[in-house]
Each structure stands twice: as structure tokens, then as C-alpha cells.
Structure 1
């Protein structure tokens, strides 16, 4: 039992670190850059599920909150969380939980992972746009135009990539008995 807790702590730390690394891959845009953070969130939830995925994202947010340069553009600090882009980071926690939960209640297959990751993308973009609106005192139209619309196409591409890679990696880790099978319906990624 204790070894499971230690393993879970290590897994969460690894996925928080993966998110920090992928956050540094970015395409700059005027208000909100496109980064690899959301890809990491989708991979995390698809591979390790709802509970551990959400914990990994809480850990990621906490690492940034104390000043570690883990957010996009190697930024850190509480000011990022309460600033214009903080809603996206808070959204990562909800996204990881919901994405993993959908997969746990259905199947860890590519089609279901794509559904789950698309729902996750919508959650992240919605939470990001809400905070963007209030922090920058924007109208809803402005917040959606700058915080959602530019990210839809690339978000769908990242959702597909997270789904495909995540299901493949997860399936191999389950086969190797490094991860438990959390799905209600045990299916291979091709199903």
C-alpha cells in the first residue's frame, strides 16, 4: 500500500515536470501564447487518469505559484495565476480530472480519448477566457476573440496528438503492469 502511494507521488511529479518542460515550447501571440502545456495536460489525463492527472496539475500550478519558472516563457509566481492567463492554468486541473474521468467511465481508446481531450480543450479555453475577460476588463466578444478563437484549430490538433500518444503509451504501461487498468471496459487502443 505504501509503495503504491510513493509510486503515485512519483508519477504525479513526473507529469508535472513534463508539463513544465512542454510549457517552454511555444508560439508567441499578442495576448496568450500557444504552448505545449495543453498537450501535456491531455497526455497526463489520458495516461494516468482523473485523480492522479488532477493532482499532477495541482502540483504544476503550485510549483509555478512559488516562483519556479514552469509556466510558459519560463515564468513563475503567483502573479501569473492571478493575471490574464491564470484561468488557463486553473483550467488544467479541471481539464485533467474531467478528461481522465470520461476515459475511466468509457474506454481508453483513440475515439474516446479524442472525445475526452476535446471536452478538456473546451474546459481549458472557457476557464481561460473567463479570467482573461475579468482581469483585462474585456467584453465577452473580446475575450472569446483573443482567448478562444485563435486556439481552436491548434487545440483540436493537440487533442488528437494527446489522444493518440496517450492511449498508446497508457496501453503499453498497462500491459507492462506499470499502471492499473482503470477503464470500465478493458479495450486495446485499436478498439
Structure 2
């Protein structure tokens, strides 16, 4: 009889953890969607908080659930919800900037994997994870932008102009967000790490 009671408690705990993961994933889907429309008005190239929330999804939810939150966001946008920066719908895959959105999902998995390899990751580990995520997002974004612009939209862009407009002018704000995400992650990861899956 005690063994049966013990199993029941474990099953209840597992169910609670799954429910908590679902709630956190849903919360981050909403944050990522909202973040696309929160613009920080800095000179030259304003930036949004979308990248911040995709990084935090990886750091706080772990690699699998963090990437899942971003994938759900992408799917919702592609089926027509206007949650991307310039709207939504399946045709959005032909927007030159869609590569960055794909990069968000990959980066959330990678930075979540690196950050959560330790129970209490250091600032150095968190920053390293975030900067690797930044590299992934820009790699996907710039390659996709180049391909769509040059081979689909017939609006050629050279490598030099691509590097200037899609990286040099855009990346300073995201570097700041990498630092902010590391600070938030350092405080929040120990609080939620014990109560989640994957």
C-alpha cells in the first residue's frame, strides 16, 4: 500500500511539472509575439525585444521547451496570426527577414543546451551561450535575406551592403540584449530549474 501511494505522488508531481512547462511555454510564446512590437528607439536602427525573449526561452525553459516555444510562435504566425513584425500568414516565408525568425528557434535550443549544462551557470557561460545564439540568428538571417532578395524578389543586394545593413547597424542593440538576458537568466534559472522538464 505505501508503494502505491508513493507512485501516485510521483505521478502527480510529473503531471504538475508537465502543466508548469505548458504554462511557461505558452507564456513565452506570448512574450515573443509581444516583443516583436516593442521597439527600442535608438539612433540608426531601432531594435525590438523579440530576440531577448527567444534567448530567455532557451535559458529558462531549457533547450527543448525553449525551442518549442519559438516553433509554436512561428507556426501561429504562419497560419495567419499577425504576430510577426510585418504581419503573418504563409507568405511571410518569402519576407527577407524570415531567416532571423528561423534562427530564433535554433538559437533558443543551442543557448538553452549550453546554459543548462550546469545547475548554476556562471555569467560567463550565460554570455557565451547568448553570443553563440546571436551568431546563429544572424547567420540564418543574413543567408536567408541574401537568397530571398537575390533569387526570389529580384532585388539584388551585395555582400558588403548585406553585412552593413543586416549586421553592423543592427547588432549593437542585440549585444546589449545578450547581456540583459544573461543577468536575468542568472537570477531566474535557479528559481525554476528544479520544476521543469527537458
Q: TM-score range by the shorter chain?
A: 0.7 to 0.9
Correspondences of 1:26-65 after superposition (within 5 Å): 26-27=39-40, 34-65=47-78
Give the Å deviation of 1:141. Answer: 2.1
Count of residues in Structure 1 that have an aligned counterpart in Structure 2? 176
- 1:126 corresponds to 2:145: no
Alignment partners' CA distance in 2, 1:35 and 1:26:
4
2:101 pairs with one of 65, 89, 104: 89
TM-score, normalised via structure 2 length: 0.80
- 2:38 counterpart residue number: 25
Alignment partners' CA distance in 2, 1:99 and 1:82:
27
Give the Å deviation of 1:6. Answer: 3.2
Over the aligned positions, Cα root-mean-square deviation in angstroms equals 2.2
- 1:161 counterpart residue number: 180
Is the contact made by 1:87 and 1:130 (CA closer than 8 Å) also made in structure 2? yes
Is the contact made by 1:26 and 1:72 (CA closer than 8 Å) also made in structure 2? no
Is the contact made by 2:17 and 2:195 (CA closer than 8 Å) also made in structure 1? no
Is the contact made by 2:18 and 2:196 (CA closer than 8 Å) also made in structure 1? no
Give the Å deviation of 1:134. Answer: 1.0
Structure 1: which 5+ residue stretches go unaligned? Answer: 183-191
Q: Secondary structure at the match of 1:72?
A: coil
Deviation per CA, 1:98-142, whole angstroms, max 9, x where unpaired?
000111224522221111001101110111101110111122222
Alignment partners' CA distance in 1, 2:91 and 2:40:
22
TM-score, normalised via structure 1 length: 0.83
Alignment partners' CA distance in 2, 1:44 and 1:117:
11
Deviation per CA, 1:8-50, whole angstroms, max 9, x where unpaired?
2222111111111111112589xx8621110111111111111
Structure 2: which 5+ residue stretches go unaligned? Answer: 1-13, 151-156
Deviation per CA, 1:67-90, whole angstroms, max 9, x where unpaired?
1121225x2122223311100000
Is the contact made by 1:39 and 1:162 (CA closer than 8 Å) also made in structure 2? yes
Give the Å deviation of 1:63. Answer: 1.0
2:191 pairs with one of 172, 179, 184: 172
Alignment partners' CA distance in 2, 1:71 and 1:108:
32
Q: Which has the larger radius of gyration?
A: 2
